[in-house]
Amino acid sequence: MPAPHFSVCVYCGSKSGQDPRFASIAAQVGHWIGEHGGQLVYGGGRNGLMGIVAESTLAAGGTVVGIIPRALVEKEWAHHGCTELHVVQTMHERKSMMAERADAFLALPGGIGTFEELFEVWTWRQLGYHDKPVGILNSQGYYDGLMNFMGQVVSQGFMGDWQMDLVRVANEPEALLRELVEAAGFSPAARTDQL
């Protein structure tokens, strides 16, 4: 298998949510990454949107790096079909390795774990710990409330517009993924070995 052209860390739910369109979006994200010769870095789970994005990446010819804490493996949440599955001891190790292996970050719909991961890489970006692009896929308006609240945070003087500008927000996956990958310094092109 050829080396991946780029690596996208995707944060998303270990559940699929109520709207079936979330699963469709996760599948589109994984397919785009695989189709363009990319690598998915994610939390290593086989359930929910996490499992869908991983399976879709693999099916489209991409590589998948799963990173999961031992406690979750023991609950049988690990996706053993990953190209690489790293079992770590703590959530801190997991998030550190995910950040190291990624060229860009993308948040899909998810719960509190997804939010925590998104805010951490956003915070790291504002502090200069990394300069990798960060994106939010606002599928079906899922993040509308959050983005409205963040606008309130700016209007109340706790953040500046420049901090909001550190995150790219879009409703459709393909254009956002392309923007993130290009901002990371890569030129995504459809795989020729898939034709």
Reply yes or no on whether the pLDDT at 191 is more than 70. no
Q: What is the pLDDT of residues 13-42, one digit of tens each?
A: 999 999 999 999 999 999 999 999 999 999
Q: Percent of the chain, pLDDT > 70?
A: 96
Is 187 domain-assigned?
no
Task: Band the pLDDT of 188: cuts 50, 70, 90.
Answer: confident
Tokens of 16: 């699929």
Reply yes or no on whether the pLDDT at 177 is more than 90. yes
Is 41 domain-assigned?
yes
Is 4 domain-assigned?
no
Is 163 domain-assigned?
yes
Provide the number of structural domains found in the chain.
1
Identify the domain containing residue 123 by its residue range. 13-181
DSSP string, 92-135: HHHHHHHHHH-SEEEE-S--HHHHHHHHHHHHHHHHTS----EE
Q: Which residues pair with 169 in a beta bridge?
A: 136
How many other C-beta atoms can be found within 10 angstroms of the C-beta atom of residue 138? Answer: 19
Reply yes or no on whether the pLDDT at 194 is more than 70. no
Is 191 domain-assigned?
no
Is 194 domain-assigned?
no
Which CATH number is 140's domain given? 3.40.50.450
Question: What does residue 87 show for φ and ψ, rounded to 5 degrees?
Answer: -105, 120
What pLDDT is recorded for position 190? 66
Mean pLDDT of 91-117: 96
Specify the higher pLDDT residue, 75 or 91.
Answer: 91
> 0.85 exceeded by the pTM?
yes
* Nearest by Cα to 65 from 48, 89, 47, 81: 81
Reply yes or no on whether the pLDDT at 155 is more than 80. yes
Is 124 domain-assigned?
yes
Is 47 domain-assigned?
yes
What pLDDT is recorded for position 92? 95
